[in-house]
Amino acid sequence: MNESYYNKDMNSSGFDFSETFSVSPEVRNSMRVISLIVYSLTFLLGVPGNIFVVYIAGVKMKRTVNTIWFLNLATADLLCCLSIPFSMVQILLDHHWPYGSVMCKIIPLVIVSNMFASVFTLNLISLDRFTQVITPVWAQNHRNLFLARLFCVVAWVLALVLSLPLMILRHTFTDEYSNTTHCTIVADEEDESISGLLIIIRFVFGFLIPLICITSCYGIIARKLGRSHFRSGRVFRIMLAVIVAFFLCWLPYHMVYLIIWYGETSSALAAFAVGPLAISLAYINSCLNPILYVFMGQDFKNRVKLSLRRVFERAFSEEGTQMSQSTQSQQMHSV
């Protein structure tokens, strides 16, 4: 036959499938090669980049609310980047799971909890900016390091709670026909229905609700300040770029798995063929944020003259307080 059967179990994604789809060897090999290239670039850029962000925001800079947000994001991204070699080895082994039953629970837990922690942090960033612009007096009186740390802890706790079902239900099994081991939660119809429910939960809480929340916050902010004023803020531009990058990277990931699970057979087959690429794209987000911090600040000509440390310090500097004070002053003069 010209087609090979490919198990519907993309372990590195945190989702599980038991059915098989026929995918041509050419497409399958192409996706593997592209995925490995993307994984390699993401790892090589993401690990040192996020370590540098953690070092600058967590050690060298004065602690502010902004640095806490960026430190939290960089921590989540770093954990995800450090899990990439496990996924690469699995792809090289043609999706054989060589790590045992314990890592079958831990690795997907790290990946999915990182997704939730990242998106929850982005929500916190948007809500923080919203309060500074819309309710500047309240923000000036209540915006502090303790609340920022507390909300970050809450974000991680919620991320772990939403990811725990994945860890509890996962297990390994050996396919006697191919003599390969797989990490999955699909074993019977009941487990299969649970897998479908988890996909919906992750899409709703990890993408849809945050998208509505974040776009609403920034839409109201842009209307309040005016587009020119909104776009001129350095920190606002950085954070908007981080948010746009997150959703562009994760949208294909969610769409692929929704189509695979709930779409027609032909659509599911096409989605499954590009599944590895969608997963790779999701990983790219973990290495983009440090790059965005560099290129979204002031004029690039001035930026290249600065040391990397100075670049990141400027990117993380507190700008929102001055902006909210300026907004408040404008409101007082207009009364």
pLDDT for 147 equals: 93
Smallest CA-to-CA distance from 108 within 153, 190, 197, 171 is with: 171
Is residue 9 in some structural domain?
A: no
Token pair of 202 as six digits? 């992750």
pLDDT of 167 over the 70 cut = yes
We report the CATH number of the domain holding residue 311 as 1.20.1070.10
pLDDT for 115 equals: 81
Q: How many Å apart are CA 254 and CA 260, to the nearest integer?
A: 10
Domain count, the chain: 1
In three-state secondary structure terms, 330 is helix
pLDDT of 83 over the 60 cut = yes
Is residue 316 in some structural domain?
A: yes
pTM over the 0.85 mark = no
Is residue 262 in some structural domain?
A: no
pLDDT for 304 equals: 39
Task: Convert the pLDDT of each residue in 196-228 to its tens digit.
Answer: 888 898 899 988 998 888 888 888 887 887 765
Q: Are 79 and 332 within 8 A, CB to CB? A: no
| Strand locations in the chain (E) | 4-7, 20-23, 171-175, 180-184
pLDDT for 117 equals: 92
Instruction: Give the range of the structural domain holding residue 315, as residue numbers without chain letter.
Output: 24-247+287-325
State the average pLDDT over residues 269-297: 77
pLDDT of 18 over the 90 cut = no
Is residue 237 in some structural domain?
A: yes
pLDDT for 23 equals: 62
pLDDT for 43 equals: 94
pLDDT of 150 over the 90 cut = yes
Instruction: State how far the alpha carbon of 182 is from the alpha carbons of 10, 103, 186, 263, 298, in Å.
Output: 10, 12, 11, 24, 49
Task: Convert the pLDDT of each residue in 28-49 to its tens digit.
Answer: 788 888 889 999 999 999 999 8
Q: How many Å apart are CA 270 and CA 313, to the nearest integer?
A: 44
The overall longest dimension of the chain from CA atoms, in Å, is: 78
Is residue 162 in some structural domain?
A: yes
Top-ranked range on mean pLDDT: pick from 56-60, 151-155, 295-299: 151-155
